C-alpha cells in the first residue's frame, strides 16, 4: 500500500523527529476508500523496541493539518500528544486519523442499531433532514476499522494490539460513533472518548427521540464493558452544544444509578466552549490523559 511520510520538526535533535504517514485512498470491502494518516511521536524512533498504544480518531482531515481541516482549524492532536508524552504524563501512543467520507459522514457515523429502534416516521424525518437515503453505514464503517484498518496498523507499526491498548475518539457525530464502537466491539477497544456527542441528531430544539434511544442503548450495553473499559463524555455550553446538557445529564444519572460512581467513566462540561475544532483542540489533553494517563 502506498504511503507518504511527513517529518514534523520539534525542539529535539534532528534524529529525534516525529512523523505523519499518509496512506492515501485506503481500500475497503465495506465502505468507500479514504485517506488514513498515522502520527508517530519522536519516541517511536528513539525507542526501537517499545510498542505503542493506538488511538483511532474519526474526521481525520481535522486531526492534524489546518490545510485540510474544516474551517481551517485542526485539533493539532499530534502536537498535543507529543507534548504530553514529553512530559511523561501519558503512556507511549500513536494516532490513526481516519478521514470521513464527505457526504456519507452522517450515514457512517450514526449508530445503526439505536437508529433502527426509532419509529419509522421519525427515521424518515431524520433521513430527509440529513440526506441519509435509507443507507445506514455505521456497522460497515466499524467493520472497516476493526477488520481492515486495525490489522494493517498492527502489522505495519510497533503497536500493542490488545484491547487494553486500543482506543477510539471523535467529536459530534464522531462522538456518537466512538461510543458505539466501544460498545459494539468491547473485545477490540479498551476505551472511547466522545467529545460533544451529537445526542439529538438534530440542529433544533427538542423533542429529540434519537437521543432517548441512543442513551438507553449506551446504558444497557455499558454493562458489558463497565469494569475494565474507559468511557469519556464531554460537552460545551454554547452553539450546538447548548442542546446537549439535558441529554448528557440523563445519561450520567442513569449510569450512576445503575452502576455507581466509577473511575473509568468521566463526564465533563466546559463552560463557554462551542461546537467546533478550536474548542475540541483546547481541551484535547483532558481525554488524552484520561485514556493514556500513567496508572
Whether residue 279 is predicted with pLDDT greater than 70 in this model: the reply is yes
Whether residue 69 is predicted with pLDDT greater than 80 in this model: the reply is yes
User: Above pLDDT 90, what percent of the chain?
Assistant: 87
pTM: 0.94
Contact 194, 251 (CB under 8 A): no
Q: Topology of 4-292 in CATH?
A: Rossmann fold (3.40.50)
What 8-state DSSP symbol labels residue 26? Answer: E
Closest Cα to residue 239, out of 207, 196, 206?
196
Beta strands 34-40 and 18-26, pairing class: antiparallel
| Res 194: pLDDT | 98
- Interval 192-213 mean pLDDT: 94
How many other C-beta atoms lie within 10 A of the C-beta of residue 129? 13
pLDDT single digits (tens) 88-121? 999 999 999 999 998 899 999 999 999 999 999 9
Closest Cα to residue 100, out of 71, 58, 134?
58
Mean residue pLDDT across the chain: 94
Amino acid at each position: 500500500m502506498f504511503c507518504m511520510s511527513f517529518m514534523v520538526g520539534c525542539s529535539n535533535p534532528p534524529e529525534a523527529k516525529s512523523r505523519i504517514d499518509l496512506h492515501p485512498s485506503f481500500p475497503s470491502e465495506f465502505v468507500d476508500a479514504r485517506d488514513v494518516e498515522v502520527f508517530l511521536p519522536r519516541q517511536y524512533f528513539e525507542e526501537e523496541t517499545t510498542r505503542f498504544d493506538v488511538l483511532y480518531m474519526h474526521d481525520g482531515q481535522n486531526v492534524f493539518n489546518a490545510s485540510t481541516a474544516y474551517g481551517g482549524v485542526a485539533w493539532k492532536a499530534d502536537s498535543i500528544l507529543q507534548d504530553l508524552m514529553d512530559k511523561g504524563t501519558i503512556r507511549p501512543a500513536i494516532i490513526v486519523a481516519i478521514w470521513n467520507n464527505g457526504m456519507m459522514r452522517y450515514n457512517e457515523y450514526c449508530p445503526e442499531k439505536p437508529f433502527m429502534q426509532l419509529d419509522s416516521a421519525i427515521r424518515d424525518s431524520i433521513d430527509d433532514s440529513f440526506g441519509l437515503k435509507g443507507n445506514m453505514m455505521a456497522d460497515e464503517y466499524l467493520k472497516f476499522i476493526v477488520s481492515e484498518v486495525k490489522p494493517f496498523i498492527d502489522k505495519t507499526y510497533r503497536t500493542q494490539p490488545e484491547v487494553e491498548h486500543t482506543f477510539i475518539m471523535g467529536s459530534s457525530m464522531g462522538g456518537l460513533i466512538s461510543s458505539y464502537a466501544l460498545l459494539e466491539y468491547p473485545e477490540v477497544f479498551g476505551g472511547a472518548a466522545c467529545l460533544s456527542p451529537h445526542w439529538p441528531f438534530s440542529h433544533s430544539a427538542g423533542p429529540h427521540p434519537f437521543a432517548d434511544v441512543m442513551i438507553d442503548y449506551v446504558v444497557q450495553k455499558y454493562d458489558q464493558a463497565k469494569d475494565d473499559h474507559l468511557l469519556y463524555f464531554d460537552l460545551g455550553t454554547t452553539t450546538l452544544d447548548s442542546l446537549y446538557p439535558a441529554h448528557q445529564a440523563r445519561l450520567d444519572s442513569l449510569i450512576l444509578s445503575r452502576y455507581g460512581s466509577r473511575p473509568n467513566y468521566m463526564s465533563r462540561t466546559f463552560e463557554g466552549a462551542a461546537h467546533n475544532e478550536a474548542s475540541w483542540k483546547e481541551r484535547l489533553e483532558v481525554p488524552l490523559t484520561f485514556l493514556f494517563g500513567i496508572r
